[in-house]
Amino acid sequence: MRCWAEIDLAALERNLVLIRKSLPAGVRLISVVKADAYGHGIHPTATRLMQAGADTFAVANVKEASDIREMGSGWPILVLGPLLAEEDQALLDYDLTAALSSKEELERFQSLAAKSKQAISVHVKIDTGMGRGGVWWKDALSLIEATMQAPAIKLCGILTHFAQPSDSDFTKEQRKRFLEVIEQAKLQRDPSFLIHADNSSSLRSLETNTVFNAVRIGLLQFGIASPRGSLLADLQVEPVLSFHSKLAMVKELPKGTSLSYDRQYTLRRDSKIGIISAGYGDAIPLHCGNRANGLIQGRSYPLVGRVTMDQTLIDLTDSTTEFELGEKVTLVGKQDRQEILLSTLAEDAETIPWELLCSITKRVPRIYKTKRE
């Protein structure tokens, strides 16, 4: 293998168990596994999460939902994105729950349920300021009432989505709008009725808001820590994914040589340059050249020049050892006492961890570590 990602499923399980123990009593855990479980691989990941005790799964679309349903029938699966009309039948075929955003969707679901003589489960989605999916909060009461009156539609939850959890004032305003809708609708339900707005970043006020009884957990279960100030910020979650490649070549180049496309880096001294056998066609961000680092034999070395599709350059001039070809290079993960966090690489690449995980391409093998310690 020229490059590969290692997925520690035992760490994933430990993270989920830790998160569950840290949530307030009575709060259900909705495990978000959209985009192929954020690049970790949906089948092995969801299977392990089932074993670890996830209450509910949430995905972006019916294709992702069907993949999970084929693994097991005991877990509710919430489809967060709006459905296309031709996808509606999948709600019945795979026993899925839809996030309902409009009366047009409600009419479609009603018609399908009546024809099939089967009930369709929904969570009504409220737009409190994200400006994306969901019914606008001032218009939500009408949709909720229509849903409750629809005989073939089972209303089993209500949700909203925070646009910027780091902005506490706007998040509080969104939460206030959401609570107003819940109060107006007089949603007196049993504990199985899920009321959820929070992900791990916005849990600051969950403890004092007893109306909320579910939380959507995405990156935190994969070991990407929550921001300071979040209820779960101090959890010692473990990174689940690491990314590695190999040293394909080492060459001596004179001072003044420019490197890679667009000549964005010029050597200031006679240098020893290594070629890593992975590039942006695998997972290494295009813009992390001249910013990020890689680990070889437990020591950090800078990436230099622009990252190319299949190869990345690394400056080994300060090394006191001779490297063999095929030497392991770690771009995310640990070597000896050194570690590069995914969040660090994201900062170097001026992007976010979500995009990095989702950009790991199909040509990168995933190696799953399954052993429980």
pLDDT at 124 over 60: yes
Same domain (yes/no): 26, 69:
yes
Give the domain CATH number at 255.
2.40.37.10
- Residue 279 falls inside a structural domain: yes
Catalytic residue (choose from 34, 125, 265, 301): 34
Q: Using one digit for the tens of pLDDT, what is the confidence trace for 208-225?
A: 557 889 999 999 999 998
On whether both 247 and 192 belong to a single domain, the answer is no
Please tell me whether residues 246 and 164 are part of one structural domain: no
**282 plus 217 within the same structural domain:** no
Q: In terms of domains, do 184 and 248 share one? A: no
- Give the sign of the dihedral formed by CA 301, CA 306, CA 312, CA 315: negative
Task: Give the confidence band of 166 by pLDDT, cuts at 50, 70, 90.
Answer: confident
Residue 234 falls inside a structural domain:
no
Quote the pLDDT of residue 233.
Answer: 66
**Residue 192 reports pLDDT greater than 80:** yes
Q: What percent of the chain clears pLDDT 90, i.e. is strictly above it?
A: 83
pLDDT surpassing 90 at residue 263: yes
| Mean predicted lDDT score pLDDT of the chain | 93
99 close to 82: Cβ distance less than 8 angstroms: yes
Mean pLDDT for the stretch of residues 12-30: 91
| Residue 73, pLDDT score | 86
Q: Is position 232 within any domain?
A: no
Compute the CA torsion angle 226, 230, 197, 342 (nearest 10 deg): -10
Q: Name the one residue in this structure whose structure tokens are 């791990």.
A: 200
Residue 60 makes CB contacts below 8 A (sequence gap 6+) with: 34, 35, 79, 80, 81
Q: Predicted confidence band at 234 (pLDDT cuts at 50, 70, 90)?
A: confident
- Does 87 have pLDDT greater than 70? yes
Whether the pLDDT of residue 202 is over 70: the answer is: no
Per-residue pLDDT, 72: 84
Place of tokens 């509710």: 76
Overall number of domains in the chain: 2
Residues 199, 119, single domain; the answer is yes
- The residue out of 222, 254, 274 marking a domain boundary is 222
- pLDDT value of position 206: 59
| pLDDT over 90 (residue 195) | yes
We report the CATH number of the domain holding residue 147 as 3.20.20.10
Q: Which one is predicted more confidently, 43 or 22?
A: 43
Segment 70-80 shows an average pLDDT of: 92
Q: Is 145 found in the same domain as 33?
A: yes
- Whole-number pLDDT of residue 24: 82
- Consecutive H or E run containing 91: helix 89-93
Question: Per-residue pLDDT tens for 324-337?
Answer: 999 999 999 999 99
Task: Give percent of the chain above pLDDT 70.
Answer: 95
Domain end: 194, 222, 250, which one? 222
* Domain region containing 76: 8-222
261 included as an active-site residue:
yes
Q: How far, in Å, are 37, 112, 285 from residue 32 at the CA level?
A: 8, 27, 24
Question: Which residue in the block uniquely carries the two structure tokens 């799964």?
Answer: 57
Q: Which of 163, 192, 222 is the last residue of a domain?
A: 222
- What is the rounded CA–CA span in Å between residue 42 and residue 77? 13
Catalytic residue among 172, 176, 255, 261: 261
pTM: 0.92
Is residue 190, in this structure, part of any structural domain at all? yes
Whether residue 251 is found in the same domain as residue 338: yes
Q: Is 159 a member of any domain? A: yes
Do residues 146 and 24 share a domain?
A: yes
